[in-house]
Structure 1
Amino acid sequence: MGDAALRYFLEVVRSGSIAEASVRLNVAASAISRQIAKLEAELGSPLFERRSRGMVPSAAGELLAQHARRTLLGEEQVVSEIRRLRGLERGLVRVGCTEGFATDFMPEAIGMFRHTYPGIAFDMRVAAPQAVTRMVREGEIDIGLTFGFMPDASVQVEFGGSAPLMALVGLDHPLANRPWVTIADIAAFPLGLPAKDTTARQLFDLVCGAEGIAVEPMLTTNYMSGLWRFAETGGGVTVTGRITVLSRIWRFHVVALPLRSKTSNERRYEIQSMLGRTLPDAARAFVFHLRRHLEQLDRPGDQPLGLRS
């Protein structure tokens, strides 16, 4: 199986159609069809199922996709090892993270890393937590920094820590001087909540369900900075993870209050890489850098955070 055939095959898996893969690869659709036909003839099995929503890998296709990802990433590793002879002078690290890390933490970490290794470039993608893990699993990115409820067995967890929820309020809010709050406390005020595909929202909904409290948010958005500004201007209360608070609270006039409940500590943050893959040197060095940065940032404690802390 040639590299070109595997690359064409993987792009059809990602895009769900030969036509879309043709556009992305800038290769004629007929050439992609021929390569896939050759792969199917060579393996003696169909690699795709044609459905109304596009081309979906068959069981054989899923196995080949796993092999192809590791094969192509292995070639990148060879290139990396050759560059290793010259040190970390050049290279590309592909990272993915949630918006909570993308606004401040990740750009700062990249900037600090490049002070030491100025020849290393970065490609940063921002997505929902589950999408970050999927990109790691499928080899679209080298490193993922995301949130979850338990370690994911489909990826390698390089490092992780607790990401309990905190409530954000403006400096003049009636709750601002509390040492901590409960769901019942914040439910009495207008709420701004993140979108339902975020682990912060999912955990918040679980806590509400466990405590038998129904809430109706006045604002729902997938834009985190908007929620912080909502709290800062006195619009109401919002919730986010402590690790996010620690990385960016200095930018806002808000107070972050620990959210007390039986289940508020069940969320985690994780640095993830592809299971079974040896990372290129630049990516490995950046994992170490991220871990050290998180260890320095994530100080223990259950105290309010903000301008008065």
Structure 2
Amino acid sequence: MLNNELRYFMAVATTGSLSAASEQLYVAGSAISRQIQKLETRLGVALFDRHARGMILTDAGQILANHVRKSMRDMEYALAEIHGLTAVRKALVRLACTDGMAFDLLPGLLARFRKLHPGISFDLQVGSAMQVAEWVRRNACDIAFQFSLAPEKEVEIIAAWPAPVLLLVDGGHPLVWQESVAMEDLHLYPLVLPEAGTTLRQLFDLSCRMAGTFIEPVFSSNNFSALYDFTRHTPDAVTVCSHFSVLWRATRDGMTLKTINNTSLSQRMLQIQVPGSKHRPAAVNAFLTMIAQALESEHKAWMARLG
């Protein structure tokens, strides 16, 4: 709620001239000029450099304009919070994730959230780790989910969980009964891997080199759904993923996750990311709260199963 002095000041700061501000506010230019001069007198500094072609903010004017804009945003945020549930009833939440998160986990959590808030719509874009990082930095999404080897720059990390690379096999696979699985053991079975360049493939290839072994996959793809179904339908095949990628689907399909005896495969983290220094609408905050709680609960349950 701005008084006339600040309202007229911001109009000129935004439009760059008294005449343009006059047209915008339907107020005489002379009245606007008097209010700005009154504000300058009260502050003891010039807020504009006057030129024939318009008015340009001085350093002091720029500082004031920035503070006024922040106050206006804070007021908008306060009103949104006051309306609370009304703000959550109808909104679009833009999501971005890498391929593994789109396979099973996110669709299930989105459906769960919409049962509580049926007015919320979601748009989910799936890309590479580099694409997702760029989308969140450019504010092209409200929330991003990705498996990362290191913290991303210029983004805020809301929560993170260990997401080690695990072996995924059929429930009747010989490796299920093997107490400890090493990289060398995988030579005996058809190997299914994501394409080169993904964080998962990078860690797997690094672990092979450290173990002094090399394993050529029988099938690779940039689509996790294809990797998963190929593994299901190929006798004795093995693939790799995080437990988050197949949180509910693996159990339903009779698949089993096994740890691999290699510390290099434990470096990945699942991160929930949001654009830095950006106010989040009520719907985004509500979804973030729900999904962070759900992932924390599921991760604890997985750790308990590991013993």
TM-score by length of 1: 0.69
- Where in structure 2 are the equivalents of 1:253-272 lying within 5 Å? 253-272=254-273
Q: CA offset at residue 142 of structure 1?
A: 0.4
Q: CA offset at residue 81 of structure 1?
A: 4.9
SS in 2 for 1:88: helix
From the superposition, tell whether residues 217 and 224 of structure 1 become closer, same or farther in structure 2 (CA, over 3 Å). same
Is contact 1:155-1:275 (8 Å) kept? yes
Distance in 1 of aligned mates of 2:284 and 2:78: 10
From the superposition, tell whether residues 105 and 121 of structure 1 become closer, same or farther in structure 2 (CA, over 3 Å). same
From the superposition, tell whether residues 2 and 225 of structure 1 become closer, same or farther in structure 2 (CA, over 3 Å). farther
What's 2:99 paired with? 99
What's 1:273 paired with? 274
From the superposition, tell whether residues 205 and 302 of structure 1 become closer, same or farther in structure 2 (CA, over 3 Å). farther
- How high is the sequence identity, in percent, across the aligned residues? 30
Q: CA offset at residue 80 of structure 1?
A: 9.7
Is contact 2:105-2:244 (8 Å) kept? no
Give, as a single letter, the amino acid of the residue that structure 1 aligns with 2:132: V
What's 2:122 paired with? 122
Residues 1:89 and 2:82 are matched in the alignment: no
Residues 1:221 and 2:233 are matched in the alignment: no
SS in 2 for 1:167: strand
From the superposition, tell whether residues 180 and 227 of structure 1 become closer, same or farther in structure 2 (CA, over 3 Å). farther
Is contact 2:104-2:246 (8 Å) kept? no
Q: CA offset at residue 304 of structure 1?
A: 7.0
From the superposition, tell whether residues 303 and 121 of structure 1 become closer, same or farther in structure 2 (CA, over 3 Å). closer
From the superposition, tell whether residues 143 and 89 of structure 1 become closer, same or farther in structure 2 (CA, over 3 Å). same
Distance in 2 of aligned mates of 1:275 and 1:125: 19
* Backbone CA RMSD of aligned residues: 2.9
Residues 1:164 and 2:196 are matched in the alignment: no
What's 2:303 paired with? 301
What's 2:290 paired with? 289
SS in 2 for 1:213: coil
Distance in 2 of aligned mates of 1:165 and 1:144: 20
Q: CA offset at residue 230 of structure 1?
A: 2.4
The count of residues paired between Structure 1 and Structure 2 equals 237
Residues 1:133 and 2:133 are matched in the alignment: yes
Is contact 2:158-2:271 (8 Å) kept? yes
TM-score by length of 2: 0.69
From the superposition, tell whether residues 119 and 203 of structure 1 become closer, same or farther in structure 2 (CA, over 3 Å). same
From the superposition, tell whether residues 167 and 146 of structure 1 become closer, same or farther in structure 2 (CA, over 3 Å). same
- Where in structure 2 are the equivalents of 1:1-309 lying within 5 Å? 78=76, 81-82=79-80, 85=83, 86-233=86-233, 234=235, 236-298=237-299, 299-301=301-303
SS in 2 for 1:175: helix
From the superposition, tell whether residues 249 and 146 of structure 1 become closer, same or farther in structure 2 (CA, over 3 Å). same
Distance in 1 of aligned mates of 2:179 and 2:306: 6
Q: CA offset at residue 294 of structure 1?
A: 0.3
What's 2:4 paired with? none
Q: CA offset at residue 242 of structure 1?
A: 2.0
Structure 2 residues not aligned, in runs of 5+: 1-12, 16-68
SS in 2 for 1:216: coil
Is contact 1:97-1:144 (8 Å) kept? yes
Is contact 2:80-2:87 (8 Å) kept? no
From the superposition, tell whether residues 269 and 256 of structure 1 become closer, same or farther in structure 2 (CA, over 3 Å). same
Structure 1 residues not aligned, in runs of 5+: 4-70
SS in 1 for 2:266: coil
Distance in 1 of aligned mates of 2:195 and 2:271: 20
Distance in 1 of aligned mates of 2:232 and 2:280: 41
Is contact 1:128-1:197 (8 Å) kept? no
Distance in 1 of aligned mates of 2:177 and 2:305: 11
Distance in 2 of aligned mates of 1:83 and 1:256: 43
Is contact 1:247-1:297 (8 Å) kept? no
- Give the number of the structure whose residues are more often helix, by fraction: 2
Q: CA offset at residue 254 of structure 1?
A: 2.1
Distance in 2 of aligned mates of 1:302 and 1:258: 14
Q: CA offset at residue 301 of structure 1?
A: 3.1
Larger gyration radius, structure 1 or structure 2: 2
Q: CA offset at residue 161 of structure 1?
A: 0.5
